[in-house]
Amino acid sequence: MKNDTQNAPIGVFDSGIGGLTVVKELIRNLPGEDIIYLGDTARVPYGTKSRRTVIAYSHSNTEFLISKGVKLLVVACNTASSVSIPSLRSEFDIPVIGVIEPGAKKAVSVTKTEKIGIIGTPSTINSGAYKSAIESLNPNIEVISKACPLFVPLADEGWIEGQITESIAEKYLSPFKETGIDVLVLGCTHYPLLKNTIQKIMGDQITLVDSAQETAALIKDILIEKNLLNDKGTQSDREFYLTDVSDTFLSVAGRFLGEKINKIEMVDIVGTTSLPSP
């Protein structure tokens, strides 16, 4: 029975395809693990939706992944992590890992000025989740937050560098320059794609914290600690499910994952809203 759990897949969900940046880091850190990814592309984005709605969507995503037998759940979406984790942990029995805590922990360990910047979607920033997580680790740290709504569509459009992207980044990020922060947390799974531009605008003296990297590292620690590392020794398997499949998503998914996706399946979990034939 124990071996069944040990060699079960890791489940990852995101509102869309941004969470593939977390999968990319999981593959890098844990090449022997099977991964099942669910992107809720029929209801993306979560970042502009209410707390109540995001929690409901997170539960239905989790139920789907649990039905696939996952041993650990990764909420690879900052918005869902910021509002849904307590509710998911109380309802489901497997370990539930979000992207907020690992990013917050890393930022706290790195800062010397005790001033940390956070960027994310409006709902992640409004939730105050990073601020709370950081202050619970060290109440002396000052947190300065800023929502950057255009970064997600820029990453989706593939405009990850160049004059327009730099102008937008300058507009969002220049208020940080007078604050004395020495760490900036990329609090959205899309933002690692814009890392070069963000670093260029902020300057090399600012450390960027990539929540996707920190989350993957934490999951490796947890699997080792719980003796749950996959040891079957065969080629690892990855399955990708989306709640809606459109050309737009397929064309950008590879950019987020950093490798080609061979197979995507569509799954209908959007309630019983009756879907007429295409």
What residues act catalytically? 77, 188
The distance of closest approach from Cβ of residue 206 to its own copies in the complex, given in angstroms and rounded to an integer, is 22
Task: Find the part of the chain contacting its own copies (CB under 8 A) among 19-27, 108-116, 129-137, 246-254.
Answer: 246-254
With CB under 8 A as the contact rule, the residue among 8, 12, 36, 44 that binds its own copies is 44
CB-nearer residue toward its own copies: 205 or 273: 273
Instruction: Determine contact, residues 42/217, Cβ cutoff 8 Å.
Output: no
Task: Find the part of the chain contacting its own copies (CB under 8 A) among 50-58, 101-109, 206-214, 222-230.
Answer: 50-58
Tell me the residue ranges of DSSP E strands in 123-215.
142-147, 183-186, 207-210
The answer to whether residue 115 forms part of the interface with its own copies (CB under 8 A) is: no
- By CB under 8 A, the count of residues binding its own copies is 47
With CB under 8 A as the contact rule, the residue among 140, 234, 262, 272 that binds its own copies is 272
Residues 151-190 that bind its own copies (CB under 8 A): 152-154, 156-157, 159, 163-164, 167-168, 171
The sign of the dihedral angle between the CA atoms of 74, 106, 149, 49 is: positive
For residue 152 the two structure tokens come to 């997600």
| Cα Rg of the chain (Å, integer) | 18
The answer to whether residue 55 forms part of the interface with its own copies (CB under 8 A) is: yes
CA dist 159 → 48, 148, 163, 247, 253 (Å) = 22, 15, 10, 18, 15
Edge-first strand listing for the sheet containing 238-242: 96-98, 72-75, 10-14, 35-39, 238-242, 264-266
Farthest CA pair distance, the chain:
58
DSSP-derived letter for residue 16 is S
Which positions touch its own copies (CB under 8 A)? Answer: 41-44, 48-53, 55-57, 59-60, 87, 122-123, 126, 149-150, 152-154, 156-157, 159, 163-164, 167-168, 171, 244-249, 270-278
